[in-house]
């Protein structure tokens, strides 16, 4: 008995069920109850056929103005001195527009009659709104929670913004426009470009908030064709904004003006994407008592500072003499000398006219005396 016990412990009896199941069912036919079901492979998607889109039909637009990326922040009369990309790269896409890209704009091919264009815009606007109708529209769209709103940023009135305005006009007769950034320096230009390019009428203007009305006879189904720009084109290269020696000053005088401006207190501190509607008036007022002013633009950004320089140069008017560490130094120019020269020219003209009148009187008196 003692001899059999170690054998039994070393060779324990096998379970009859497991032994039978493992020997009766082969490994190839074994299928557990929860085995994953093999799904048929998904068919691979066919590649899209690009043959019909290789030569798209060019879009034709009857809008009577040149297409630009920005209408309010570019000057058509100013010619660039270079381009950062070839002119063949049109932002409208290759072959998508029947106008050629010149690097800054796509000019109109067929010039339209300005009288016909003006008559059509007058017809779309229709009769002017009454005061009650204007008050109703303003009360509906002037609040910040208005659903029909588009924002105007540092690029100003852009080409794609016109399409956004017409999309809002599909469901509402007016759109609220919130303006921020550099374009707010010249809100008159923004209002003019919006009315001219969209064909609507601004019925409300408060600081940087505008409400643009579509007109009584506007038909959303017959809206003008506005081809979209697929990307923002690179800005061209323009002449240098700040010259080494300011016009009308010597090198030493320019240096002295710059040092005086850097050490003078800042007239204003501008913030990024702010509202600058009162900057031009403040600059003009400061030039009445001072010759050089400084604007603190530390949080504005380098590109926006250059745009502000250009706007103030034309609106104030003034001469930008330094742009350093996002500080703008402006000089009012030699206005006293220009004013004195204008006064002297007027005096010379008046004295010459009086001399001619005296000669005419003397000649008439001499003729009457001879007769």
| pLDDT tens for each residue of 126-181 | 999 999 999 999 999 999 888 899 999 999 999 999 999 999 999 999 999 999 99
Q: Is the pLDDT at 216 greater than 80, yes or no?
A: yes
Residue 126 region by backbone torsions, left for phi larger than 0, else alpha for psi between -120 and 50, else beta: left
Cis peptide before 71 (omega within 30 of 0): no
- Calculate the alpha carbon distances from 369 to 74, 154, 358, 364, 365 in Å: 67, 75, 16, 9, 6
Highest mean pLDDT: which range of 82-91, 92-101, 180-189, 341-350:
180-189
Q: Where are the alpha helices (DSSP H) in the chain?
A: 4-10, 16-24, 114-125, 131-141, 159-168, 187-198, 251-262, 279-287, 302-315, 335-370
pLDDT in tens, 84-119: 999 889 999 988 999 999 999 999 988 778 888 889
Closest to 279 in 3D by CA, of 263, 295, 291: 295
State the residue range of the domain holding 314: 251-331
281 in any annotated domain: yes
pTM of the model: 0.75
369 in any annotated domain: no
Co-location of 207 and 278 in the same domain: no
Question: Percent of the chain, pLDDT > 70?
Answer: 77
Co-location of 76 and 201 in the same domain: yes
359 in any annotated domain: no
Task: Work out the average pLDDT over 345-364.
Answer: 48
Any idea which of 24-33, 314-323, 356-365 has the lowest mean pLDDT?
356-365
| CA distance linking residue 195 with residue 192, whole number of Å | 5
344 in any annotated domain: no
Q: Is the pLDDT at 267 greater than 70, yes or no?
A: yes
**Can you give the pLDDT at residue 343?**
39
Domain boundary among 164, 197, 213: 213
Co-location of 73 and 185 in the same domain: yes
Q: Is the pLDDT at 345 greater than 60, yes or no?
A: no
| CA distance linking residue 236 with residue 104, whole number of Å | 7
- Give first-to-last CA distance, the chain, whole Å: 180
| CA distance linking residue 317 with residue 310, whole number of Å | 10
Residue 179 region by backbone torsions, left for phi larger than 0, else alpha for psi between -120 and 50, else beta: beta
102 in any annotated domain: yes
> Which residue is associated with the tokens 């303003």?
138
The tally of domains found in the chain comes to: 2
Co-location of 166 and 261 in the same domain: no
198 in any annotated domain: yes
Co-location of 118 and 194 in the same domain: yes
**Can you give the pLDDT at residue 110?**
80
What is the 3-state secondary structure of 30-87?
A: CCCCCCCCCCCCCCCCCCCCCCCCCCCCCECCCCCCCEECECCCCCCCCCCCECCCCC
Task: Work out the average pLDDT over 64-79.
Answer: 92
Co-location of 179 and 306 in the same domain: no
pLDDT in tens, 248-260: 889 999 999 999 9
Co-location of 73 and 207 in the same domain: yes
Strand partners, 322: 329
Task: Work out the average pLDDT over 191-208.
Answer: 95
- Three-state DSSP class for 118? helix
Domain boundary among 213, 240, 261: 213
Band (335; pLDDT cuts 50, 70, 90): low
Q: Is the pLDDT at 32 greater than 80, yes or no?
A: no
Token pair, residue 319, equals 């001469």
271 in any annotated domain: yes
200 in any annotated domain: yes
Any idea which of 43-47, 184-188, 334-338 has the lowest mean pLDDT?
334-338
Band (325; pLDDT cuts 50, 70, 90): confident
Q: Is the pLDDT at 350 greater than 60, yes or no?
A: no
**Number of neighbouring beta carbons within 10 Å of residue 141:** 24
Asked whether 68 and 74 are in contact (CB, 8 A), the reply is: yes
Co-location of 74 and 204 in the same domain: yes
> Which residue is associated with the tokens 């690029």?
155
Task: Work out the average pLDDT over 19-45.
Answer: 60
Co-location of 207 and 260 in the same domain: no
**Can you give the pLDDT at residue 150?**
94
- Three-state DSSP class for 4? helix
């Amino acid at each position: 008995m003692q001899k059999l016990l170690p054998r039994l412990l070393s060779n324990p009896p096998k379970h009859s069920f497991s032994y039978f199941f493992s020997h009766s069912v082969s490994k190839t036919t074994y299928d557990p109850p929860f085995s994953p079901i093999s799904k048929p492979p998904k068919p691979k998607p066919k590649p899209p056929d690009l043959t019909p889109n290789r030569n798209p039909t060019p879009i034709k637009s009857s809008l009577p103005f040149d297409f630009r990326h920005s209408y309010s922040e570019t000057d058509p009369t100013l010619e660039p001195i270079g381009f950062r990309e070839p002119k063949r790269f049109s932002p409208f896409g290759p072959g998508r527009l029947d106008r050629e890209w010149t690097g800054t704009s796509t000019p109109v091919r067929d010039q339209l009659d300005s009288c016909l264009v003006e008559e059509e815009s007058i017809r779309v606007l229709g009769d002017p709104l009454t005061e009650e109708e204007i008050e109703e529209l303003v009360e509906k769209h002037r609040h910040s929670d208005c659903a029909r709103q588009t924002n105007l940023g540092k690029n100003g009135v852009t080409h794609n913004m016109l399409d956004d305005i017409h999309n809002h006009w599909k469901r509402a007769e007016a759109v609220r426009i919130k303006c921020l950034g550099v374009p707010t320096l010249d809100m008159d230009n923004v209002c003019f470009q919006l009315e001219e390019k969209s064909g609507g009428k601004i019925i409300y203007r408060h600081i940087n908030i505008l409400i643009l009305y579509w007109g009584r006879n506007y038909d959303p189904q017959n809206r003008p064709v506005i081809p979209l720009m697929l990307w923002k084109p690179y800005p061209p290269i323009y002449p240098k904004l700040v010259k080494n020696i300011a016009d009308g000053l010597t090198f030493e005088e320019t240096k002295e003006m710059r040092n005086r401006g850097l050490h003078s207190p800042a007239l204003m501190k501008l913030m990024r994407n702010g509202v600058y509607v009162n900057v031009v008036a403040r600059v003009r007022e400061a030039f009445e008592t001072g010759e050089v002013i400084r604007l603190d633009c530390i949080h504005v950004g380098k590109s926006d500072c250059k745009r502000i320089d250009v706007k103030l140069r034309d609106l104030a008017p003034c001469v930008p003499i330094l742009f350093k560490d996002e500080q703008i130094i402006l000089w009012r120019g030699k206005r006293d000398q220009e004013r004195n020269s204008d006064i002297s020219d007027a005096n010379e003209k008046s004295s010459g006219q009086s001399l001619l009148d005296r000669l005419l009187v003397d000649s008439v008196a001499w003729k009457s005396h001879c007769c």
